[in-house]
Amino acid sequence: MLTALLDPEAPGDAVVVRVGEETLSRRELVDRARRFAAGLSAPGPVAVLAEPTVPTVVAVVGGLLAGVPVVPVPPDAGPREIAHVLADSRATCWAGPPRDGADLPVVEPAGAEPTATASTAPAVSPDAGAPALILYTSGTTGDPKGVELSAASIAAGLDALAEAWGWTSADTLIHGLPLFHTHGLILGVLGPLRFGSPLHHTVRPTPARYAAARGTVYFGVPTVWGRVVADPPAARALTRARLLVSGSAPLPASVFRRLHALTGHLPIERYGMTESMITLSARADGERRPGWVGLPVAGVETRIRAEPEDGSDDEPEARTAASAPVAQVPADGESIGALEVRGPMLFDGYLGRPDATAEAWTEDGWFRTGDIAARDADGFHRIVGRASTDLIKSGGYRIGSGEIESVLLDHPDVAEVAVLGLPDADLGQRVAAFVVPVGVPGDGLADELTGLVAEALSWHKRPREVRFVAELPRNAMGKVQKKRLG
């Protein structure tokens, strides 16, 4: 499985991965990953606590080498989220420091020094049909779902980006993004390993660390770029880069322009999803336009379905039979509709959720992104927003309002709750909880509710704002109308 992504036989003493102050040559990485793989005792998925460290990189590459699915676990996840991810993925072992909710045999991290008993062969027989990665991502309701990505999809997705961005072994990649998502892990770690371009992970994506790191390609979510332009000396240090790449959420046009003014670079914007990897991007050798996410990358096709204007809050649903022609909006850059994509980098399905998997695809084989978009005559795409208010993007993290609501409803002082994303200058959207309390809310209730979510789910999913309201606005059918809150 690993060989489909990167060649473990490729020699090399040069540093290929640096995380914080710790470095690894290609030879050391492959050696440690092999020893990690040899320490796996069961063929099931390996859960990796995805702290931004060298052992995380070793464990991910080791799992891929063994051919078992790798399940990255957010390091800030609470016991409830960890328990869900481990049970849902049927992970059979745990790599990383102990955590509440992770009651599995621990695979010892492969250290720098080989042990006398170390074998170079993986101890388990890989399941050829198994996914390479299972990434947990939020939906509009319920617990996060496991997105199954094969090595072939990952390789196709990465190669398409290399083509669009001219990404080669001559590049050094800099970023400090989390290692449990597509952006930081697949693009940000597997990408450089596949292309032989050194990676310097800065542990946190701060302007000062980006400025201090010496690279040619920099990755960031819009929050990171917003913080960079708020620190002009740090921004100016990036003048030496070849490409500044933004994704995971909309980059405000003001940040785009400021970045250009401070660094001389027009940022590359690209669009993707956990389920699809990156499907749209500006090109290194092409136009870069503020507010637009570019062209389909190699192998990708898009269509923008005209949607009936029914004012629905829901994700688009199957409204057209396979045989009926799909009405698309005109490619005039203004008309908007539901973005659907197809291409070789798409996921295989949601683990154990055939219902959700089937719903994600049209009957004629296109993936429904759930995003509303427009396209112009040159094929450039603009993302207008999500069809549903129940998926929030905060700091580039995808957060489902349903999972937060269900945690808050467990609190005895909460009668009703509606969670949504409110516009936020730093995070794009901030998670806000509108709570109908039972009786008069106590002084500490807002902090208590915030802490409850941070502890049960993840720190990054906690509401940044809790507002107490007498009632929630509802339509005639009794459905909460979130668009009227805020």
- Minimum CB separation of residue 462 from ligand MCA in Å reads 9
Q: Which of ligand AMP, ligand MCA, none is residue 386 near (CB under 5 to 8 Å by kind)?
A: ligand AMP
Contact window for ligand AMP (CB under 6 A) among 101-109, 303-311, 364-372, 446-454 = 364-372
| Contact status, residue 194 vs residue 158, Cβ threshold 8 Å | yes
Stretch that binds ligand MCA, among 47-55, 104-112, 155-163, 391-399 (CB under 6 A): 391-399
Task: Output 63 or 247, the one with its CB closest to ligand MCA.
Answer: 247
Residue with smaller CB distance to ligand MCA, 175 or 258: 175
369 binds, among ligand MCA, ligand AMP, none (CB under 5 to 8 A by kind): ligand AMP
Structural tokens at position 113: 């020094």
Q: What does 188 bind: ligand MCA, ligand AMP, none (CB cut-off 5 to 8 Å by kind)? A: none
Q: Give CA–CA dist 241/210, Å, rounded.
A: 11
CB 331 within 8 A of CB 294: no
Q: Is residue 337 part of the contact set for ligand AMP (CB under 6 A)?
A: no
Site string for ligand MCA, 456-485 (x = CB under 6 A): ---x--------------------------
Pick one of 139, 184, 272, 437: the residue that binds ligand AMP (CB under 6 A): 272
By CB under 6 A, residue 293 contacts ligand AMP? yes
Site for ligand AMP in 369-388 (CB under 6 A): 369-371, 383, 386
> Exposed, middle or buried, 63 (CB in 10 Å: 0-12/13-18/19+)?
buried
Q: Which window, 10-18, 32-40, 101-109, 389-397, contacts ligand MCA (CB under 6 A)? A: 389-397
248 or 263: CB nearest ligand AMP? 248
Contact with ligand AMP (CB under 6 A): which of 398, 430, 461, 482? 398
- The single-letter code of the amino acid at 30 is V
139-178 binders of ligand MCA (CB under 6 A) = 177-178
Q: Which of 205, 207, 337, 370 binds ligand MCA (CB under 6 A)?
A: 205
Count of chain residues binding ligand MCA (CB under 6 A): 21
292 is a site residue for ligand MCA (CB under 6 A): no
Shortest spacing between CB 272 and ligand MCA, in angstroms: 4
74 counts as binding ligand MCA under rule CB under 6 A: no
User: Applying CB under 6 A, which residues contact ligand AMP?
Assistant: 137, 182, 247-250, 269-274, 293, 369-371, 383, 386, 393, 398
User: Applying CB under 6 A, which residues contact ligand MCA?
Assistant: 76, 177-178, 181-184, 204-205, 221, 223-224, 247-248, 272-274, 395-397, 459
